[in-house]
Amino acid sequence: MEGSLSNGSCKSLFKMPEIKFTKLFINGEFVDSVSGKTFETIDPRTGEAIARIAEGDKEDVDLAVKAARQAFDHGPWPRFSGAERRGIMLKFADLIEEHAEVLAVLEALDAGKLHSWAKMGDIPGAANTLRYYAGAADKIHGEVLKMSRALQGYTLREPIGVVGHIIPWNFPTTMFFMKVSPALAAGCTMIVKPAEQTPLIALYFAHLAKLAGVPDGVLNVVPGFGPTAGAAIASHMDIDKVSFTGSTDVGRQVMQAAATSNLKPVSLELGGKSPLLIFDDVDVNTAADMALLGILFNKGEICVASSRVYVQEGIYDEFEKKLVEKAKAWVVGDPFDPAVRQGPQVDKKQFDRILSYIEHGKREGATLLTGGKPIGKKGYYIEPTIFTNVTEDMLIAKNEIFGPVMALMKFKTVEEAIKSANNTRYGLAAGIMTKDLNVANTVSRSIRAGIIWINCYFAFDSDCPYGGYKMSGFGRDCGLESLHNYLQVKSVVTPIFNSPWL
Amino acid sequence: MASLRNGSTKSLFKLREIKFTMLFIDGEFVDSVSGRTFETIDPRTGEVIARIAEGDKEDIDLAVKAARRAFDHGPWPRFSGAERRRLMWKFADLIEEHVEELAALDALDAGKVYLRAKTAEIPGAAEFLRFFAGAADKIHGEVLKMSSELQGYTLREPVGVVGHIIPWNFPTTMFFMKVSPALAAGCTMIVKPAEQTPLTALYYAHLAKLAGIPDGVLNVVPGFGPTAGAAICSHMDIDYVCFTGSTDVGRLVMQAAAASNLKQVSLELGGKSPLLIFDDADLDTAADVALLGNLYNKGEICVASSRVFVQEGIYDKFEKKLLEKAKAWLVGDPFDPTVRQGPQISERHFDRILSYIEHGKREGATLLTGGKPIGDKGYYIEPTIFTNVKEDMIIAKEEIFGPVMALMKFKTVEEAIKSANNTQYGLAAGIVTKDLNVANTVSRSIRAGIIWINCYFGFSMDCPYGGYKMSGFGREYGLESLYKYLQIKSVVTPIYNSPWL
């Protein structure tokens, strides 16, 4: 079945795929929701429905938890050796690669993400993440302790149990595997609630998990809405841990629900208003490219976006000029068009929200350097937008917009830059551009954020933990650190007698 | 001058005066903003020991301001690990110099056995400080194995301003369990000691200053949970709150943290820990472990082995031995060196324990021994053992936090494991057996944070402990606990022409 092209060139390679998986995946089966309800998932290029998906609610989460609990308490998954879990995870990764074409299309379609990027980055990245954690599954160590009296003590790092993953819509694939992979490696079982905007690929991954041999009940996928399915997970009495990525406001609700229910530990990866500090010893062209990518990558729908850009006085004017040039040349359009660099925003709600922030910016007295308007009449496309003459108390400098909107500001000294960088309740990421070793070291230590990129941005890596300081959350994803989210420490102590040493 | 009451004249120590009764903020002892004070009670008699300044929201605000300034601009986080170590060791030395007075204060304020405080708990405080002081200059990040041409490393940075909310059962141990790793990590902090037991916390504040801990680094604000405690949990400028106490209050702490600034939280909550005694156990040892597990610190300890399961084969002999030992267990004035159990902490708690005992009787359990208060003054309760307890009884499910044991029987290993895990809690567990395989299987199968095999309360500085399930999350003791007060920052830079990846 061929979808028609809208809002882009005819160079599109896109054919609307058959949407094979539209039901909840519980205990190894695709099933309707208990209520029988379904919801639409929308194509952000056009605002039209792609498919109807089964809508999970509390009763469905209950069934999924029952299955996951059975699988954890009595099933083979935690009882497999690390090597056996590794084998199945590697098979899963292979299957992802075999299905890469259709997966890349689903990712781009559901979330408005660049198809070329999904194909070269997000989908292979998923396989990579699985392989990274698969290789760690048989290397999860406890410690033998140095007891101060005649006792033998050691710690075991045990899988924490049934995990709830609540994932956002901006990186449906990356988020899925960033959380599922370490939890699988640790021997946990889980329920994933993908965002209601982007359920398609999560259900496909459930299908591949089954093909790979992941036992029934280990990985359950229940699409649905936050206030229903998400809330049911956060407040479930039999879920041992919740891992949430999303907005700060919902993060609050997740943590509160966890507290009022069974005091399950939570990890939260929330919003950001990350600063990019550009010192005057850098190449202006490179800096402008970096700044633009920092705010326009994935149409600005990325928690670590460098939405506040501070440029040192000495190069400011030249930088601003270069930036506007590049912004005007930035192609926005159909994400299936290989020439396009920015697709549509994920849905109408986000689209409206971003435009309303742009209006705020104008009202607050910032100068609209470029952009600021929607593109076309169909879908949710917005021009790359840059505000200058922004003061730090403006809403557009304080609130996370989550769209292609940059606040561009000036600074004089290193101290000023640090102060401005830290002048936010968030603390997710930061970028520093300089050739000076000492500036790089001092500033990277002084900014209170969980990941600092020096002369680069979005430099993620399987082995590199990332997460929030301050109100950007706590807990780390990626790297071996994130395994700790899914393990708990048990100490075992026994008296010893006649030991020749202590 | 405090005089002896409700016990023998063999008391070892006379306390002359309560020296520190005001809030300690930014290096000074000050009155509370409101001018209010509250009483702290002697549980041997129910009488007032002293009036203490009562901290509330405004006082917490002042303390946080001081701690924030000390963290953002003061020397403490900027000291090398070795420099923090030096001051922490000084602090430890000062504690040892004042051990008798400190032990007397805890015995007085919390009804704890004086000799135990003097020989174990107060020296334990110095040990915490020294253990973590020695770790302060060994806090490592990692260099990462990046998969493209990037140099990546992690820094473990102090998390910032920490709020410690500590309970009344181990005023000294709890204080240093939390303060020591936080100090070593380079954090600054506000400690809210329990309203029942503010005395030693204020004394420690004084010693901290003598030791040279800079102003604002360690602030102590006594007060009540719903006021001072709540102010800490919901403060917009505290980065981390570390709480030990009841599960109910733990919920409020986590909710307040979420509703305010999403500060990180660690919780160490209640327990209903099982002790499984297999039939190859030595009877005498087993009975001693079971009794100590329930009566140590008058049962006011989160890891108390309040559910004791004994394998059929030795049950009858065990019950007889246990009864003997329970009847010989001396309860009285904690300053009396022959006494093994002092008074419960407060009248409210005393009433609560007695009400659970009534529940037990009403639910149909058999009262084997004890069950009654001792004397007319103070809060003394007899060592109490219930048998014929069913797992759905309140006395088998809820944490009583007093000298009350639920004694039950089991047949097989599988049954024992199932019973052990049949609780919403998961703090500790004990296993008494000589069989290696039973020990290994059962220790892996019980969902609890610390498993003691052929011992109980086997704590050690290097050994982390904390909850599974509704007993909380986060670990105290050991290097694990240091990581609570540190956060990970990754720093990534491109590299060029590297000869290897």
Instruction: Give the start-to-end residue ranges of the domains of chain A.
Output: 24-270+472-489, 275-454
Number of other residues whose CB lies within 10 A of the CB of residue A293: 16
What pLDDT score was predicted for residue A11?
46
Please check whether the two domains, A24-270+472-489 and A275-454, share a CATH topology.
Answer: no
What does DSSP say about strands A266-269 and A381-382: parallel, antiparallel, or unpaired? unpaired
CB-based burial, B427-447: b 16+ in 10 Å, e otherwise:
bbbbbbbeeeebbeebbebbb
pLDDT category of residue B8 using cuts at 50, 70 and 90: very low
Half-sphere exposure of B106 (CA within 13 A, CB side): 32
CA angle, residues A65, A68, A69, in degrees to nearest 5: 80
CA distance B453 to chain A (A): 5
Q: Looking at the complex, does the CB of residue A236 fall below 8 Å from at least one CB of chain B?
A: no
Q: Is B101 exposed, middle or buried (0-12, 13-18, 19+ CB in 10 A)?
A: middle
A96: alpha, beta or left, given left = phi > 0 and alpha = psi -120 to 50?
Answer: alpha
B148 contacts A263? CB cut-off 8 A: no
Give the whole-angstrom CA distance, residue B498 versus residue A190: 40
Give how far B425 is from chain A: nearest CA, Å: 10
B441–chain A Cβ distance below 8 A for any pair? no
Query: What are the structure tokens assigned to A254, written together?
Result: 């997740």
CA A144 to each of CA A60, B343, B447, B463, B464: distance values in angstroms, whole numbers, following the listed order: 42, 38, 20, 9, 11
Q: Does A451 touch chain B (CB under 8 A)?
A: yes
Q: In terms of DSSP H, where are the helices of A329-450?
A: 348-364, 395-398, 414-422, 437-446
How close A454 comes to chain B (CA, Å)? 5
For tokens 């004791």, what's the residue? B308
Interface check for A206 against chain B (CB to CB < 8 A): the answer is: no
Kindly state the tokens that stand for B117.
């405080």
Overall average pLDDT of the B426-439 stretch: 97
**How big is chain B, counted in residues?**
501
Please name which of A105, A289, A87 lies closest in space to residue A204, comparing C-alpha atoms. Answer: A105
pLDDT at B9: 43
List CB contacts (< 8 A) between B451 and chain A.
490-493
Q: Region B166-195: what's the mean pLDDT? A: 98
Q: Which helix (H) or strand (E) holds B229?
A: none
| Whether B490 and A265 lie within 8 Å, measured CB to CB | no
Q: Residue A326 and residue B346: Cα distance in Å, rounded?
A: 72
Q: What is the pLDDT of residue A297?
A: 97
Q: What does CATH list as the number for A24-270+472-489?
A: 3.40.605.10
Pick the closest to residue A318 from A442, A255, A183, A410 (CA basis).
A410
Vertex A269: Cα angle to A267 and A273 (nearest 5): 150
Can you give the pLDDT of all 502 residues of chain A as single tens digits?
A: 222 233 444 445 577 889 999 999 999 999 999 999 999 999 999 999 999 999 999 999 999 999 999 999 999 999 999 999 999 999 999 999 999 999 999 999 999 999 999 999 999 999 999 999 999 999 999 999 999 999 999 999 999 999 999 999 999 999 999 999 999 999 999 999 999 999 999 999 999 999 999 999 999 999 999 999 999 999 999 999 999 999 999 999 999 999 999 999 999 999 999 999 999 999 999 999 999 999 999 999 999 999 999 999 999 999 999 999 999 999 999 999 999 999 999 999 999 999 999 999 999 999 999 999 999 999 999 999 999 999 999 999 999 999 999 999 999 999 999 999 999 999 999 999 999 999 999 999 999 999 999 999 999 999 999 999 999 999 999 999 999 999 999 999 999 999 999 9
Q: What is the pLDDT of residue B13?
A: 64
Of B463, B462, B456, B420, which Cα lies nearest the Cα of B438? B420
Distance CA A209, CA A202 (A): 10
Q: What is the pLDDT of residue B7?
A: 45
Q: How far apart are the first and last CA of chain B?
A: 72
Say how far apart CA B55 and CA A391 lie, in whole Å: 39
Structure tokens at B215: 């102003």
**Set of chain B residues whose Cβ sits within 8 Å of the Cβ of A265:** 473
Q: Is B45 on the interface with A (CB under 8 A)?
A: no
The alpha-carbon gap from A371 to the nearest alpha carbon of chain B, in Å, equals 31
Please judge whether A454 and B493 are an interchain contact, meaning their C-beta atoms are less than 8 angstroms apart.
Answer: yes
- Record: contact A252-B262, CB cut-off 8 A: yes
Non-local CB neighbours of A361 within 8 Å, separated by 6+ positions:
A368, A387, A390, A394, A395, A396, A405, A407
Judged by CB atoms closer than 8 Å, whether chains meet at A491 and B461 is answered as no
Residue B193 burial (10 A CB sphere; 0-12, 13-18, 19+):
buried
Q: Does the distance separating the beta carbons of B466 and A263 come in below 8 Å? A: no
First-to-last CA distance in chain A?
73
Q: What six digits make up the tokens of B476?
A: 């105290």
Distance CA A178, CA B163 (A): 32
Tokens 């001018």 belong to residue: B35
pLDDT at B95: 98
Q: How confident is the model at residue B358 (pLDDT cuts 50, 70, 90)?
A: very high
Distance separating alpha carbons of residues B221 and B195, to the nearest angstrom: 10
Set A55, A107, A196, A269: catalytic member: A269
Strands A374-375 and A381-382: antiparallel
CB B44 within 8 A of CB B114: no
Residue A269 is among the residues annotated as catalytic for this protein: yes
Stretch B371-391: mean pLDDT: 96
Q: Tell me the CA distances in angstroms from B300 to A239, B84, B119, B170, B401, one per residue in order.
A: 30, 33, 19, 9, 5
Query: Residue range B36-62: average pLDDT?
Result: 96
Q: Give the model's confidence band at B16: pLDDT under 50 very low, under 70 low, under 90 confident, else very high.
A: confident
Per-residue pLDDT band at B5 (split at 50, 70, 90): very low
- Interchain contact, A153 vs B473, CB within 8 Å: no
- What gap in Å lies between CA B409 and CA B384, rounded to an integer? 17
Residues of B with Cβ-Cβ distance to A254 under 8 angstroms: 258
Q: Is A298 in contact with A395 (CB distance < 8 Å)? A: no
- Asked if B487 lies within 8 A of A450 by C-beta distance, the reply is yes
Look at residue A2 in the predicted model and tell me its pLDDT.
Answer: 29
Please give the Cα distance from A94 to A353 (Å, whole number).
39
Query: Quick check: B288 pLDDT over 90?
Result: yes
In total, the C-beta contacts within 8 angstroms joining chain A to chain B are 183
Q: Shortest CA distance to A72 belongs to which of A190, A185, A206, A179?
A: A190
Candidate CATH numbers 3.40.309.10, 3.30.300.30, 3.90.190.10, 3.30.565.10; the one for domain A275-454: 3.40.309.10
Among B490, B493, B496, which would you mutate to test the A interface (most chain A Cβ atoms within 10 Å of its Cβ)?
A: B490
Q: Once rounded to an integer, what is the mean pLDDT over residues B484-500?
A: 95
B493 to A465: CB separation less than 8 angstroms, yes or no? no
Residue A13: the pLDDT is 58
3-state SS of B72-86 is: HCCCHHHCCHHHHHH
B427's tokens: 């703090």
**CB–CB of B24/B33 below 8 Å?**
no
Residue B140 contacts A, CB cutoff 8 Å: no
Q: Which of residues 215-274 of B touch A (CB under 8 A)?
A: 239, 247, 250-255, 257-259, 261-262, 264, 267, 269
Contacts of A467 in chain B (CB under 8 A): 488
Task: Closest CB to A474: pick one of B264, B267, B450.
Answer: B264
Contact between B210 and B94 (Cβ < 8 Å):
yes
Q: Report A:119-158 residues touching B (Cβ under 8 A).
A: 128, 145-149, 151, 153, 155-156, 158
Q: CB distance B490–A464 less than 8 Å?
A: yes
| pLDDT band per the 50, 70, 90 thresholds, residue B247 | very high
Determine the distance in angstroms separating the CA of A374 from the nearest CA of chain B, rounded to an integer. Answer: 34
> B121, B268, B300, B476: which is the annotated catalytic residue?
B268
Q: Which tokens in the block code for residue B33?
A: 């903003």
Coil/strand/helix, residue B387: strand
The whole model's pTM is what?
Answer: 0.94
Cβ pair B453:A251 closer than 8 A: no
pLDDT for residue B15 is more than 90? no
Strands (E) across A112-263 are located at 151-159, 162-166, 189-193, 219-221, 241-245
- For residue B333 the two structure tokens come to 């004035």
Whether the complex's predicted ipTM is more than 0.95 is answered with: no
